[in-house]
Amino acid sequence: MITYFLTSVLMLLSYSSITFSNEIPDYIKLCSRNDPKVNECVRNTVHNMRPYLKNGIKELNVPAMEPLYIGDLNILDGGSAGISVKAKKLNIYGASNFEIKKIKSSNNAKRFDFELNLPSLHGEGNYEMNGQILALPLKGNGPFTGNFTNFYAYVKIIFDVENVNDVEKMSLKELRVKIRTGTGSIHLQNLFNGDKALGDVVNETINKNFELFTNEVIVPIERALEKKFSAITSNVVGSFTYDQLFPA
């Protein structure tokens, strides 16, 4: 789940980076914001970059996507749901196999709306959990693994452009993400301090109700990812002009 938005942001950052790179690699095609087929151009450009994104692109400052290291993420922190969930040292495998299903550029490349699919993902990391989901008490910490199939992310990014000393500078105005869960399975080790019988029951119940389980935690994940990647995107676009990032 976490990977979809990460991939989406990496995708846009990769495209943005190529516009001000000193030397543009042969496999990258620049897309003008005035091109009537700019949506198709951007999608083709990013799809062509997938083999390079897999191992990272040093000259574009794009990290490797295999594995895609997310690190620590505070997924839930009490609140009305009464559950705290933290993921630590999270790695995701399979992110480089993403596919852009739909993309729409509007307002002269100041807004992007796109739909992203990842057909198969595998996640590994550690967790800390305390609370209740699906009427089940959940408490434990330790390693976890997850396999996820056909997840989608719907992402909206809007930029502002302001004239500063006769130079048009970009800034992030809004970034929103909506995740649609697919199918999958999760295995949490060391639930209830290693009580295998209780742990097996909880893991089996979660996986039998996989969609319900993921839907209960997805909104906090969406908000956490929006906050994390709004900061990254703001840092990137704030360093360059509108024409550098999206040439006419």
CATH number at residue 200: 3.15.10.30
Count of domains forming the chain:
1
Nearest-angstrom CA–CA distance, 184 and 149: 6
- Looking at per-residue pLDDT, the higher value among 7 and 237 belongs to 237
Nearest-angstrom CA–CA distance, 117 and 151: 6
Q: For residue 113, is it left (φ>0), alpha (ψ between -120 and 50) or beta? A: beta
CA dihedral 226, 227, 233, 239 (to 10 degrees): 160
Single-letter code of the amino acid located at 236: V
Three-state secondary structure call for residue 109: coil
Nearest-angstrom CA–CA distance, 151 and 211: 11
pLDDT digits (tens, 9 = 90+) for 44-97: 877 887 888 788 777 666 677 788 777 887 776 765 556 788 889 988 898 888
Structural domain of 122: 2-245
- Token pair belonging to 153: 């992310």
pLDDT digits (tens, 9 = 90+) for 188-233: 999 888 888 888 988 998 899 888 877 766 776 677 667 766 766 6
When pLDDT is averaged across residues 113-141 and rounded to a whole number, the result is 84
Q: Global pTM?
A: 0.73
Taking the CA atoms of 152, 111, 69 and 188 in sequence, report the sign of the dihedral they define: negative
End-to-end CA distance of the chain: 35
Indicate the burial class of 35 (C-beta count within 10 angstroms; 0-12, 13-18, 19 or more).
middle
